[in-house]
Amino acid sequence: MRFRKLKKQKKQTKKRAENIPLYANIPDRIKAFITDMFMIYIPILYIITYVVLDGKDAFQASNWAPFFGVLLYGFIYTFLLYKFGQTPGKKAYLIKVVDVKTEQNIGYFQAWLRFIGFLLSATLLVGLIFPFYRKDKRSLHDLIAKTVVIVVKD
């Protein structure tokens, strides 16, 4: 084959590779989740425990306080994913949640579905193992909500 044809083929394969999204790796996703827990969920629990209730004993005695904490975290989490496609943790590690087909920001219902799916995945633990066996690194909650976590290009 002639050199020009080889060079032309190489350029075409590079163009195809640029269109394929780079999926976020598992350690960055875990670190982003831990960052979100410290930046969003822990302050919510602190406010519920010491501002709304009388302290840790009242929090531990209440059946509703943890539920409202998770519910408030869910509202904040889904709003951030809907509005920006990122939470503070995801922004820190340059990853973003997008629709699997359009690669655009997800809708509010889709973000809620992803959050509910995450609660299910975390409860069963099976859904959190999916990214280790999939090429696109999608978890069970990503499959349910039809989303994917990609690396944001600078």
- pLDDT confidence band for 3 (50 / 70 / 90): low
Residue numbers of the domain that contains 95 = 23-151
15 within some domain: no
pLDDT at 115: 96
Domain count of the fold of the chain: 1
9 within some domain: no
The pair phi, psi for residue 62, each rounded to 5°, is: -85, 135
87 within some domain: yes
12 within some domain: no
Return the amino acid letter for 92: A
139 CB neighbour count, 10 Å cutoff: 25
Instruction: Flag whether pLDDT at 34 surpasses 90.
Output: yes
27 within some domain: yes
64 within some domain: yes
Instruction: Kindly state the tokens that stand for 116.
Output: 């509910």
128 within some domain: yes
pTM of the model: 0.82
4 within some domain: no
SS3 content of the chain, % helix, strand, coil (to 5): 65, 5, 25
